[in-house]
A and B are shown apart, each in its own frame.
Chain A
């Protein structure tokens, strides 16, 4: 069975995560409830003519994937696997509004074409002329982990040598207004300086695109090996620890072997309880990191977390801004990531040097 290595990363997010080392210019967002990406210079990657027709998510996906390929020094890949919660939601909004506002008349197909969930994966395939395997997963906050698990299986089974895997989501104004109405986005009056101490429900929302080149060989650019990925739809808060212990055991590890734990705290007091108990007890002696105060919450925010974990292992440094406790370790070789949203769609990702 072949091993899976992260050999290149590319991240477009609400922080400066390109043309930087590792979050040295990052700022926590404490005064906004909806964050937008810091845009790269698109014309360096996409012709202006093509760029004009592309959705925000497509553009960010193309740039993030190009960064990952360059980082891995790879030109051709065997497969493209993406995850996205809502796809190119701005185009979905646009097409739907046109239908409703104009009573199904005077419509043009552009936004309908872009609204399909697999647009980003398809556009990257077109750009790279990659005729290989091309899947898109759309299952809330396990969309990215589904892509990751699929890619790992492909490499293990020798079905592919190199795979581009990514998570992409964009915000859409109307959808955000609906999320606010449904209580998913924090109210302006409930903003806290530190989401770890939040006493209110809802989260800060964001968007981004993070891509990874996974290969079956270790090389100079290697960040880490992906040891395992698990997806579980439903867990009770009191089942989390048992589940993690079993997951680690299946990989011949125990809690003490974990050098850092990355948790998906989003400031929603109702569902952060899933993290709080293990943070306080089972993992009390483990360095803990968090990230959604930087990236915002979105369905594929956990791809931002994997980018962060990759960087920690490569640089052997943890920026202060992502530390959730003060525990330190001499080396950071094995990292566990845990994410969920509202108690559903739990994922555990394990990577190691």
Chain B
């Protein structure tokens, strides 16, 4: 594999429970403003038990913010996805979307499930709801975003559970690197759904409290919803347009744990292999990483597996400053790697390590302590991990331009 300079990131957009823009998200991260609360937009019997990272906007508010017509059939996921993608395109200063060979690679785990579960048995009784049948499709979110952006070229969607958006960023970088496209909008979106809440509930990995990544007494994760997109551009068109490069995607790796459909192996084989590949692609040494944005879901299984994989990567060296930002946002599933990519770029731009909130006691299995308070230092390279069901493990490395 060849060493790479990295693919330029020229724009970002995000909406999460800690903010409706890149700026708002950044302020929340450095001022310890968390987005974990009781759920209000979905009626569920678990409402008093679980805490979630919910975007406090109703669907009606999102419809009006996007100026959608009354006969629209946007799912919540498609709406937050469109908001974030529009921000990213604007941030990158793109005025003519099809001017260069431009693609959109999105990611989602449930797509329009929020509408499906709301109307499932009513479709036959209320014909005005039939329009929502089409939005169940996983590709619907990307197609809606493409339509809103007027993008006509390559559009596709990746769904590998909680690593999905890392993989869309990876594919986007590879499409640029191989010269197949000049510009790619990459990221992911997932709205909260009863389907997911109950799915994670049956797996018994939801915490009834604020999630505590890498803490010995961690009880599980808080689900969240979010969308984030980044604009990647080839060096050629960056130069042609004299564009500002925010940071670069310098490494990526995907591997499969091949251990269990929903659990990670004890020594984190998949995670270890994903990080190892990302280092190979970037040509960087593990010691060159200044900050690791860990997957850190706060489930007993993930943090143990990920921690062990980190120790295998770093062997006798010190593991760099690391933190999970999931205490702020919750676990936003297919969008997680996209919002954490935005946070990684912000870390590089502002030279800051975010705190791993709620941490109290180190895990008994190993000696690993996350960074617990915001810390300023020069940040050249950030490594971001994302792992999903089906043993899917992904690592991205972001570097200063």
Contact = CB atoms under 8 A, between A and B. Distances in A.
B155 A123 contact: no
B257 interface: yes
A231 interface: yes
B138 interface: yes
B323 interface: no
Interface string A140-151: 101100100110
A137 interface: yes
Given A113-B262, A139-B156, A233 B151 contact: yes
Interface stretch (A23-31, A124-132, A261-269): A124-132
Given A85-B137, A122-B261, A135-B158, A104 B143 contact: no
A20 to B, nearest CB: 32
A118 B256 CA distance: 12
Nearest to B197: A104
Contact of B44 (A92, A104, A125, A126): A104
B270 A181 contact: no
Main secondary structure, interface of A, reads: mixed
B201 interface: yes
B392 A137 contact: no
Nearest to A123: B261
Interface stretch (A10-18, A156-164, A197-205, A317-325): A156-164
A132 B120 CA distance: 38
Interface in B130-150: 130, 133-134, 136-139, 142-143, 146-147
Contacts of A159: 1
Contacts of A232: 152-154
Interface stretch (B238-246, B286-294, B338-346, B383-391): B383-391
B139 A85 contact: yes
Contacts of B123: 178, 181
Given A105-B45, A131-B258, A233 B153 contact: yes
B268 to A, nearest CB: 12
Contact of B117 (A96, A105, A118, A134): A96
Contact of B143 (A95, A125, A129, A140): A140
Interface string B114-137: 001100110110000010011011
A74 interface: no
Contacts of A139: 138-139, 142-143, 155-157
B198 interface: yes
B8 to A, nearest CB: 19
B391 A125 contact: yes
Contact of B155 (A104, A150, A231): A231
Interface stretch (B159-167, B211-219, B361-369): B159-167
A188 B124 CA distance: 18
A131 B143 contact: no
Nearest to B155: A233
Contact of B257 (A80, A131, A149, A231): A131
Q: On chain B, which size bracket covers the interface? A: 35 or more
A192 interface: no
B171 A96 contact: no
Interface in B177-191: 177-178, 180
Contacts of A230: 154
B46 interface: yes
B233 interface: no
Size class of the contact patch on chain A:
35 or more
Contacts of B137: 85-86, 138, 140
B139 A131 contact: no
Interface in A142-189: 142-143, 146, 149-150, 153, 156-159, 175, 178-179, 181-182
Given A156-B178, A233-B153, A131 B256 contact: yes
Contacts of A131: 255-258, 269-270, 273
B163 to A, nearest CB: 9
B279 to A, nearest CB: 15
B174 interface: yes
B390 A119 contact: yes
Contacts of A122: 256, 261, 389-392
* Residue with the greatest number of chain A CB neighbours at <10 A, chosen from B143, B153, B254, B391: B391
B143 A233 contact: yes
A306 B134 CA distance: 26
B93 interface: no
A288 to B, nearest CB: 26
Residue from A126, A158, A230, A235 having most chain B Cβ neighbours under 10 A: A126
Given A122-B261, A125-B256, A181-B130, A107 B202 contact: yes
A130 B133 contact: no
Given A113-B389, A125-B258, A138 B198 contact: no
The 6 A-B pairs of least Cβ separation, nearest first, read A122-B390, A138-B138, A139-B139, A112-B199, A117-B159, A109-B202
Interface of A: 80, 85-87, 92, 95-97, 99-100, 103-105, 107-109, 112-113, 115-119, 121-123, 125-126, 128-140, 142-143, 146, 149-150, 153, 156-159, 175, 178-179, 181-182, 230-235, 344-345
Given A107-B201, A139-B143, 11 more contacts: A96-B116, A112-B199, A117-B160, A118-B390, A122-B389, A130-B256, A134-B392, A138-B137, A153-B174, A157-B1, A181-B133
Interface of B: 1, 44-46, 104, 108-109, 111, 113, 116-117, 120-121, 123-124, 130, 133-134, 136-139, 142-143, 146-147, 151-161, 167, 171, 174-175, 177-178, 180, 194-195, 198-199, 201-203, 254-262, 269-270, 273, 388-392
7 contacts: A87-B159, A112-B198, A113-B389, A121-B160, A122-B391, A125-B391, A231-B156
